Structure 1
Amino acid sequence: MPTRRPTMTDVAQAAGVSQSTVSMVLNNMTGARLSAETRSKVLGVAMELGYRLPRREAPAPAAAIPAAPGVPGVRRNLIGYLVDEISTSPHPVVSVDGARDAAWTHDCVVSVAVTRGNAEQEAAAIEMLAMHPALLGIVYSTIFTREVALPPALVHRLGTVPVVLLNCHDEQHKLPTIVPGEVGGGHAATEHLIAMGHTRIGFINGEPWMEAAKDRIKGYRRALATADLPFDPALVRDGDWMSGTGFEATRSLMAGPRPPTALFCANDLMALGAMEALAQLGLKVPDDVSVMGYDDQEISRHTHPPLTTMVLPNYEMGRAAVEALLVAADTPAAQRASRRHLIKIDCPLVERQTVRRHA
């Protein structure tokens, strides 16, 4: 069986930096404020793992990237990428990075439009993209996973313009869709804590109305059930993804008559707050209490000790979206309409130093 080609996620994990940092180093972005030590470390790890930047080969044959309809000699190699927000979170930026790299390997380029969910801006961006003779298709993306109502301007073109949904899904599930495997991620995180001997595992969730929060606690509960451990509502707190609620929820959980020996926080910022609360209570991580995060944000590498967490696979999701779009572009419209492709990208575990075996 062929060996899997290493990804930027692999390099980031091995080097102890973020996917964004790896991308900036390997793409030789001169404006990035990175130390020579960091650049050297990333390059060394990439070389050791055998990672290679995607390189554009000779132009793809016409069958792979078709000519624009009615425009002789113009090949469709422009991918439109619509996203509602990109500046308030590191996650969508990394997805764009993955989409760009995947497009480049197929002799395509990506044009990104940030609409902030404004209907008029979405419509204008779609109209401009649709007018371009080289348009291959459109990736429609959101900053957090949710159900979306497609813009009318996009719905009207579904018969002629391939569309892939990234980090979102439509009500009827008729379009190719790329989302993170959040239930599996919540299950894997909890399963790891159970494997380390923990049976009372506190769970600090995000805002409960969000799909990510619903799926992560679903994974938590499934892992408990699989291990034949009872679900105890007293061990669960709802938060808001911010460190302050991680702090308060931890103090509340540890004040109970049977406090948990491990905390699974639904994102890294709440885990940061949890670690601060434990320190104020005079408890050591992981000697007294183990802590698990989620997302693998840059801060997770710089906590004391470094945080064990789950990767939110934004880069791989961006790549998968472009690859799905290329398949859709090579599929007749009638067949596209009858297909439903839901691709869930796994959230891998990153073991660092905040989880230890419970005696």
Structure 2
Amino acid sequence: MKTKHSIVREYIKSTILDGTYIPHQKISSESELMERFNVSRHTVRLAIGDLVNQGWLYRKQGAGTFCAERNTKDTNHMAQKNIAIITTHISDYIFPSIIQGAESLLSKNDYQISLFSTDNQHENEKQILEKILTYQVDGVIIEPTQSAISNPNINYYLNLEKLNIPYIMINAYYDELEPLSITIDDEKGGYVITEHLIEQGHRNILGFFKTDDLQGTKRMKGYLKAHRTHQIPINPTNIITYNTEEKMTKPREELEKILDQTNNELPTAIVCYNDENAMLLLESLRKRNIKVPDDISLVGYDDSMLSRVSEVKLTTIKHPQKEMGEAAAEMMLRLLEKNAGLKSDNEQIESIVYEPEIVVRNSTREIRELV
């Protein structure tokens, strides 16, 4: 359990790292901090004293306490060139391939890699950003956390910009920052995978989408657009949305409810947010002896290893996993060279959007001859 003075200390440190206080700016008074945290003056002074000793703050007799001008390069980092790679996950799904692609090129250029995972939680993202701002890495490659909803950590990215630390976003981006990014056209991907089912004769198509990430909202938009383009009425109950915390439970529960219906026509196909979601739903279908694709067609997204390990090989959208990592590393190196004056300021470095490519396997089938 954190002590009261450590809570006050971490709050002050956070306000420095998110850019609320700049060097030589006066921080909140002792009285204001006492009132904010409902603590004694002694507790506030302990917190401030720690930060003065660590070089975060300095005192002026009779004037108050001020944010210090810090040499944020820790002595352990001074001799090394360091790039932080932050993803929502590290050791599973498509992330090892993305990281491997970036790491291989960056290490060839003598950069050390620091890996971090947010677990798609804003609080974890905040703590990681504070850590890398403390040591001021040379650059950051980051997958945004819950990119479809308002992010409470935007100030930390603005502080990166102020410190001239380049960052690149992969898979998604925070729209308000308009950052350099490397993504797939997920709206088109959702459209292509849905259209594939429609062209096979499917009309009653379920869609499962994780909507706290931008990828999910865009894939859902593509799903809707494919229905409209082909003039197929959309049943609102066919769209199931869920968030990160619900990803292992809600999709299965909702599918079970739909399969339990006896008075409605059952769906003939399912569009899944990604391959992980597809494997989860495949397990539920197996328990009911519903065969894929004989009884129902199933599509995923990302062409992960999961799409190939089951006896049912998934039709899916290809994700340029290693290629994306390599492209992010190459873009970062160009940005660092530009910042160091080794490249012309006029050179344009632009975001990359990959075209989605469908990979057709045996999880889908035609259900009638098309006219």
Structure-2 change in CA distance of 1:307 and 1:140 (3 Å): closer
Residues 1:355 and 2:364 aligned together: yes
Residues 1:253 and 2:258 aligned together: yes
**d(CA) in 1 for partners of 2:253, 2:128:** 40
Structure-2 change in CA distance of 1:89 and 1:175 (3 Å): same
**d(CA) in 1 for partners of 2:92, 2:176:** 28
What is aligned with 2:143?
141
Secondary structure of the corresponding residue to residue 292 of structure 2 = coil
Q: 2:204 aligns with which of 192, 196, 200?
A: 200
Alignment of 1:160-171 (within 5 A): 161-171=165-175
Residues 1:231 and 2:234 aligned together: yes
Secondary structure of the corresponding residue to residue 143 of structure 2 = strand
**d(CA) in 1 for partners of 2:178, 2:282:** 43
Q: 1:292 aligns with which of 299, 318, 322?
A: 299
**d(CA) in 2 for partners of 1:150, 1:89:** 29
Q: 1:80 offset after TM fit, Å?
A: 0.9
Q: 1:157 aligns with which of 159, 163, 170?
A: 163
What is aligned with 2:273?
266
Which amino acid letter does the alignment assign opposite residue 143 of structure 2?
Answer: S
Structure-2 change in CA distance of 1:220 and 1:155 (3 Å): same
Alignment of 1:301-320 (within 5 A): 301-320=308-327
Structure-2 change in CA distance of 1:115 and 1:281 (3 Å): closer
**d(CA) in 2 for partners of 1:259, 1:321:** 43
**d(CA) in 2 for partners of 1:243, 1:121:** 25
Alignment of 1:46-61 (within 5 A): none
Which amino acid letter does the alignment assign opposite residue 197 of structure 1?
Answer: G
Structure-2 change in CA distance of 1:285 and 1:82 (3 Å): closer
Which amino acid letter does the alignment assign opposite residue 345 of structure 1?
Answer: Y
Structure-2 change in CA distance of 1:336 and 1:349 (3 Å): farther
Which amino acid letter does the alignment assign opposite residue 250 of structure 1?
Answer: L
Q: Gaps (5+ residues) in structure 1?
A: 1-75
What is aligned with 1:103?
106
Structure-2 change in CA distance of 1:85 and 1:174 (3 Å): closer
Structure-2 change in CA distance of 1:348 and 1:101 (3 Å): farther
- Kept in 1: contact 2:98–2:325 (CA 8 A): yes
**d(CA) in 1 for partners of 2:128, 2:272:** 36
What is aligned with 2:188?
184
Which amino acid letter does the alignment assign opposite residue 149 of structure 1?
Answer: I
Q: 1:178 offset after TM fit, Å?
A: 1.7
- Kept in 1: contact 2:172–2:215 (CA 8 A): no
Structure-2 change in CA distance of 1:191 and 1:121 (3 Å): closer
Q: 1:354 offset after TM fit, Å?
A: 0.9
**d(CA) in 1 for partners of 2:94, 2:316:** 15
Q: Gaps (5+ residues) in structure 2?
A: 1-78, 119-123
Which amino acid letter does the alignment assign opposite residue 348 of structure 1?
Answer: E
The C-alpha deviation readout for 1:166-200, integer Å capped at 9, x for no partner, is 33434544431122322122111101112222122
**d(CA) in 1 for partners of 2:184, 2:275:** 17
- Kept in 2: contact 1:308–1:352 (CA 8 A): yes
**d(CA) in 2 for partners of 1:318, 1:332:** 21
% identical equivalent positions = 23
Secondary structure of the corresponding residue to residue 219 of structure 1 = helix
Q: 1:262 offset after TM fit, Å?
A: 1.0
Structure-2 change in CA distance of 1:96 and 1:157 (3 Å): same
- Kept in 2: contact 1:246–1:269 (CA 8 A): no
The number of residue pairs the alignment matches comes to 275
Q: 1:232 offset after TM fit, Å?
A: 1.9
Secondary structure of the corresponding residue to residue 169 of structure 1 = coil
Bigger Rg over Cα: 2
Q: 1:87 offset after TM fit, Å?
A: 4.0
Structure-2 change in CA distance of 1:261 and 1:83 (3 Å): same
**d(CA) in 2 for partners of 1:325, 1:239:** 33
**d(CA) in 2 for partners of 1:251, 1:121:** 38
Q: 1:94 offset after TM fit, Å?
A: 2.4
